[in-house]
Amino acid sequence: MKHKHSRREFIKVAGSGVAALSLAATVGEKAFAAREYKISLAGWSFHRAIQKGEMPMLDMPKVSRQEFDIEGIELVNQLLEPVKKPFAEMKPYLDTLAKNAVDNNVKILLIMVDGEGNIGGRDEDQRKEAVERHKKWLDICEYLGCHSMRMNWAGAQAGTENDEKLLDEFIKRSTPGFHELCEYGDKKGQFVIIENHGGPSSYPHAVEKLMAAVNHPRFGTLPDFGNFPQGADIYSGTDTLMKYAHKAVSAKCHDFDDTTGEETKMDYAKLIEIVVDKHGYNGFIGIEYEGDRLSESEGVKRCKALLDKLKA
């Protein structure tokens, strides 16, 4: 009873020139508007420490608040210790996690779900199995007071994003499963969102076609600043994905200049202009540090400092 009470308590707590001119005009119109986005911490930022047993995922709320003063966290299903167990058997672990969040005044915002099947695979039975396996995580998201489940748009063969026929077939295979999950998510108060996370999902033109096909108010994107193909225009890509992003944005980062504090491979000022000033996003922007020069803790601190500076 104590754990259940804690969970309920938690839930309560819970053509580039033209394009550039267009963006500049939009930013100019909102130049004096306060940037009200909030900062969250993705569990993947500490995947090395967690996988080595140096830090349990159960400590994420405490680390987020006490070390970084960050008020929201994004879980990763593969980093949860009982990931393979049925939902009912996971509840004691989840109750502890929820209580830790309450104790540190931290919100559990979403769960990033990997390894639960290919929603767009060629085998119909496997697609159906993927849907059922993802429903478990929508149940868990509801239980923890999240707003969304991030899943993968998986099951495409190589080169699908550049072959119109293959892409159309992939979208046709994927759409029923996404729609079913969105309907299920609607009953649970959850959104189903996809990240640019490899394959066609990293190509904005493919994602736009999928969004049109699924056409569900519970379906959207989780734009990740870094998960675009090598050489792609990440600013244009982020701009496109932001059309469908209402619940989450991932601030991928790898390294920071020791003098200026800027991310060394991405223009964060330009990205925040697109996300916040152009698209009016004021939700959580989640730090996802993936670098190896700095420690995971130092990488998170540098990214938070940069996001705080851009918010001012």
Each residue's pLDDT expressed in tens, for the chain with a length of 312 residues: 434 444 444 444 444 444 444 444 444 444 446 899 999 999 999 999 999 999 999 999 999 999 999 999 999 999 999 999 999 999 999 999 999 999 999 999 999 999 999 999 999 999 999 999 999 999 999 999 999 999 999 999 999 999 999 999 999 999 999 999 999 999 999 999 999 999 999 999 999 999 999 999 999 999 999 999 999 999 999 999 999 999 999 999 999 999 999 999 999 999 999 999 999 999 999 999 999 999 999 999 999 999 999 997
Q: Is residue 128 part of a domain?
A: yes
Q: Is residue 28 part of a domain?
A: no
DSSP reduced 3-state for 224 = strand
CATH code for the domain of 47 = 3.20.20.150
Q: Are 192 and 184 in contact (CB under 8 A)?
A: no
Q: Are 291 and 252 in contact (CB under 8 A)?
A: no
Q: How far is it, in rounded angstroms, from Cα 204 to Cα 240?
A: 6
Q: Crossing angle for the helix pair 234-241 and 16-29, nearest 10 degrees?
A: 60
Label residue 255 exposed, middle or buried (CB < 10 Å: 0-12, 13-18, 19+): middle
Structural domain boundaries enclosing 224: 2-8+35-311
For residue 294, give both structure tokens: 């700095």
Give the up-direction half-sphere exposure of residue 92: CA atoms within 13 A in the CB hemisphere.
Answer: 4
Q: How far is it, in rounded angstroms, from Cα 237 to Cα 244?
A: 12
Q: What is the DSSP letter of 156?
A: P
Which residues, in sequence order, are CB contacts of 310 under 8 Å at separation 6+? 35, 268, 269, 272
* Model pTM score: 0.89
Q: Is residue 42 part of a domain?
A: yes
SS3 assignment for 230-249: CCCCHHHHHHHHHHHCCCCE
| Residue type at 147 in one-letter notation | H
For residue 247, give both structure tokens: 């619940």
Residue 167 CA, chain-centre distance (Å), reads: 23
Q: Is residue 17 part of a domain?
A: no
Q: How far is it, in rounded angstroms, from Cα 163 to Cα 72?
A: 39
Q: Is residue 26 part of a domain?
A: no
Q: Is residue 80 part of a domain?
A: yes
Provide the number of structural domains found in the chain. Answer: 1
Q: Is the dihedral of CA 218, 222, 227, 232 positive or negative?
A: positive
Q: How far is it, in rounded angstroms, from Cα 93 to Cα 89?
A: 8
Question: Which residue matches tokens 């940037």?
Answer: 35
Q: Is residue 15 part of a domain?
A: no
| pLDDT of amino acid 33 | 65
Q: Is residue 24 part of a domain?
A: no
Selection from 282, 219, 213, 208 nearest residue 241 by Cα: 208
For residue 286, give both structure tokens: 């989640």
